[in-house]
Amino acid sequence: KQVLVLNGPNLGRLGKRQPEIYGHTTFDELAAMCVEWGRGLGFTVDVRQTNHEGDMVDWLNAAADNGTPVVLNAAAWTHYSYAIYDACAQLSAPLIEVHISDPTRRPEVFRHTSVITEHAAAVVAGKGIDGYREALEILAREPGNN
């Protein structure tokens, strides 16, 4: 069973980007871990990152067409993108929202809203990179997956 792990803007610089908030694991390391964690759960995991909102909408539209479950860290788009909101609304398979930090506990008030949560079967936030593993485990427990 295929699973998409989709990551939004600035997450390609993981490891270098504000490590005091996001840690030292690089994006490539994260991708490799997700593939391994997925394999252990019987998933073929495809990990992607983009800084371009249209790419993300295209990927989500394809996931809707194909009935593919999605683990989504929409990064800053989480807080304001109605294009991403609309794309998430069309998904048929479960969507799990992930954040490395816990945006609801950060000082910037704009981080306290999520346009994703309404469409998500679960939210995993503030668990660091391990949150992606938790998200994959939640997907594995969803009826209809595996």
Instruction: Map residues 64-103 to x or -, x wherever contact with ligand DQA holds by CB under 6 A.
Output: ---------x-xx-x--------------------xxx-x
Beta bridge partners of 2: 44
Non-local (6+) Cβ contacts of 37 within 8 A are: 45, 132, 133, 136, 137
Question: Which of 24, 39 has the CB closer to ligand DQA?
Answer: 24
Alpha-carbon separation of residue 121 from 77, 88, 143 (angstroms)? 18, 11, 12
Per rule CB under 6 A, count of chain residues that contact ligand DQA: 10
Catalytic residue among 52, 80, 99, 112: 99
Q: Are 89 and 63 in contact (CB under 8 A)?
A: no
* Shortest CB 139 distance to ligand DQA, Å: 18
Structure-block tokens of residue 50: 């983009």
With CB atoms as reference, the residue minimizing the distance to ligand DQA is: 75
119 counts as catalytic: no
Q: Which residues are catalytic?
A: 22, 99
State the binding site for substrate: 73, 79, 86, 100-101, 111
